[in-house]
Amino acid sequence: MKHILIAEDESSARLTLSFVLKGEDYSVTAVADGEQAYNEIIKSIEERSGQIDLIISDIQMPHMTGLELIKKLYDEKIEIPTIVITAFGEKEMLIDLMRLGCSDYLDKPFEPEEIIQKVEEVFERVDNKKLELEQKDLEKSKELGALKSKMETYKFSFDKLKEQVDSAVGSYNDLVEINETNLKINISYKIEPLSNLGGDFIAVANTENGCDVIIADVAGHDMGASYHTILIKTLFEKNILEQKPPNDFLKLLNHVICENGSNERMVTAAFIRVNLIEMTAEFVSAGHPYPIIIEENSSKPSNVNVNGDVLGIYKKVSYESEKISISKKDKIFLYTDGLTGLKKTDGESGNKIRINNNFLIDSLIKNYDNCLHEIVDEIWTEANQFSNYKHYDDMTLLGIEIK
């Protein structure tokens, strides 16, 4: 029988959780704060009986908070799967929880069946991890063994997350800020989240032969959206070293989001691999708005029409890929639908008029002779003026130029 430790200072919530989980044949110990929970864990270890298989902890508690409890266990190398229950959370808190190995989280308020499902999912992932580790020992193929090891890292371990998202600690802007120093291509971008926890993400990084570029739009503006944004950033940075083909990278990203995501949360993304040796750009899209390219010898922008399944919904996905020749001074523009979804009310008819892809095309034609930064600034200004500086979603515009 699985043993679950509940740390919740509200007595009614504590009793409800205990009742629901006992009804599912779990052994339950319930305490009122993190300090009592820590003492129960140490007691179970010292007496070697009543092993605790899962911790369900509130964040805000007297004496010792849920975050302090998880950090103390992490520092003492006590590994117990943990589900955090919280009404809201700051960006810093989410990053700390993931870095400290928190298995999952659940936002208040929730229904009894939601916590039951979450507990089952965590136990299933733990059991799968144990099974895969056992199978790994039997695998004779070094390549397959290495792949399984990587997948274990993606699924169950964020121990090195802090190294990969140090620039993100503190604010959403830090998370999406691009270090332009020594990039092999020129870039210019604008990003404005609807709230502090935005779901848009962009990244550009050098590779051996050029640059990889990604733009993603995670549905929502809550902790879950930021959780997915951190996950995408982590995998993108890993892939800079591994250089999986663009199609395979999106499939892997979809797999990890499905396995580690909280409920179904749609993510669209576009990925570009710029090869400055071959002078090519390979485009792959996961249900994202089409990129726009302006060739140096032409003032007429055109869409790069690549299609693919969105991320995070379906386990079986497919992605088109298009590789085109590029030249110096060619420009490529990526954006999220928060930008093309800007709208205003027509004074005469009262109908809502939206910005669309044609608006961007027209603006690019008008500003063709400007430098990249001026083009991005002009599009951004015109779009905001169109909507009277009101927006209803995260919005992002990224321009890149081949050096």
For residue 261, the SS3 value is coil
Token code pair at residue 322: 């298009």
Dihedral sign of CA atoms 237, 242, 248, 252 in order: negative
In sequence order, what are the residues at sequence separation of 6 or more whose Cβ sits closer than 8 angstroms to the Cβ of residue 357? 289, 290, 292, 303, 340
For residue 202, the SS3 value is strand
Instruction: Note whether 392 and 194 are within 8 A (CB).
Output: yes
Q: Are residues 40 and 185 in the same domain?
A: no
**What is the residue range of 153's domain?**
132-162
User: Measuring CA to CA, which residue among 19, 13, 49 is closest to residue 32?
Assistant: 13
Instruction: Note whether 74 and 45 are within 8 A (CB).
Output: no
Q: Are residues 232 and 341 in the same domain?
A: yes
Q: Are residues 269 and 199 in the same domain?
A: yes
DSSP state of 166: G
Residue type, 174: D
Centroid of chain to Cα 278: 31
Q: Are residues 275 and 358 in the same domain?
A: yes
Q: Name the domain boundary from 65, 96, 125.
A: 125
Determine phi and psi for 209, rounding to 5 degrees: -105, 0
What string of pLDDT tens digits covers the 403 residues of the chain?
899 999 999 998 899 899 999 999 999 999 999 999 999 999 988 887 678 999 999 988 999 998 899 999 999 999 999 998 877 655 567 677 777 878 888 887 788 898 899 999 999 988 888 887 777 666 655 655 566 666 665 555 444 544 444 444 344 556 667 888 899 999 999 998 887 666 789 999 999 999 999 999 988 766 667 778 888 988 999 999 999 999 999 999 999 888 875 556 789 999 999 999 999 999 999 999 999 999 987 778 999 999 999 999 888 999 999 999 999 999 999 999 999 889 888 777 778 888 877 888 999 999 888 999 999 999 999 999 988 888 888 899 999 999 9
Instruction: Note whether 182 and 249 are within 8 A (CB).
Output: no
Residue 173 is predicted with a pLDDT of 59
> Following DSSP, what letter does each residue of 275-332 receive, concatenated?
ETTTTEEEEEEEBPPPPEEE-TT-S--EE----BPPBSS-SS--B-EEEEE--TT-EE
Residue 162 is predicted with a pLDDT of 44
Token code pair at residue 145: 């063994």
Total domains, the chain: 3
Residue 260 is predicted with a pLDDT of 72
* CA 387/CA 373 separation, integer angstroms: 22
Q: Are residues 198 and 241 in the same domain?
A: yes
Instruction: Note whether 83 and 122 are within 8 A (CB).
Output: yes
Q: Are residues 219 and 361 in the same domain?
A: yes
Residue 33 is predicted with a pLDDT of 94
Q: Are residues 36 and 71 in the same domain?
A: yes
Q: Are residues 323 and 180 in the same domain?
A: yes
Residue 288 is predicted with a pLDDT of 95
This prediction's pTM = 0.58
Q: Are residues 317 and 358 in the same domain?
A: yes
* CA 9/CA 34 separation, integer angstroms: 9
Q: How many residues does the chain have?
A: 403
Helices (H), 66-203: 66-75, 91-99, 112-138, 142-156, 161-164, 172-176
Burial of residue 169, with CB atoms counted within 10 A of its CB: 0-12 exposed, 13-18 middle, 19 or more buried = middle
Q: Are residues 136 and 265 in the same domain?
A: no
What CATH number should be reported for the domain holding residue 391?
3.60.40.10
Q: Are residues 67 and 96 in the same domain?
A: yes
* CA 202/CA 212 separation, integer angstroms: 11
What CATH number should be reported for the domain holding residue 116?
3.40.50.2300
In sequence order, what are the residues at sequence separation of 6 or more whose Cβ sits closer than 8 angstroms to the Cβ of residue 182? 206
Residue 109 is predicted with a pLDDT of 79
Phi-psi region of 329 (alpha: psi -120 to 50; beta: other; left: phi over 0): left
Q: Are residues 278 and 214 in the same domain?
A: yes
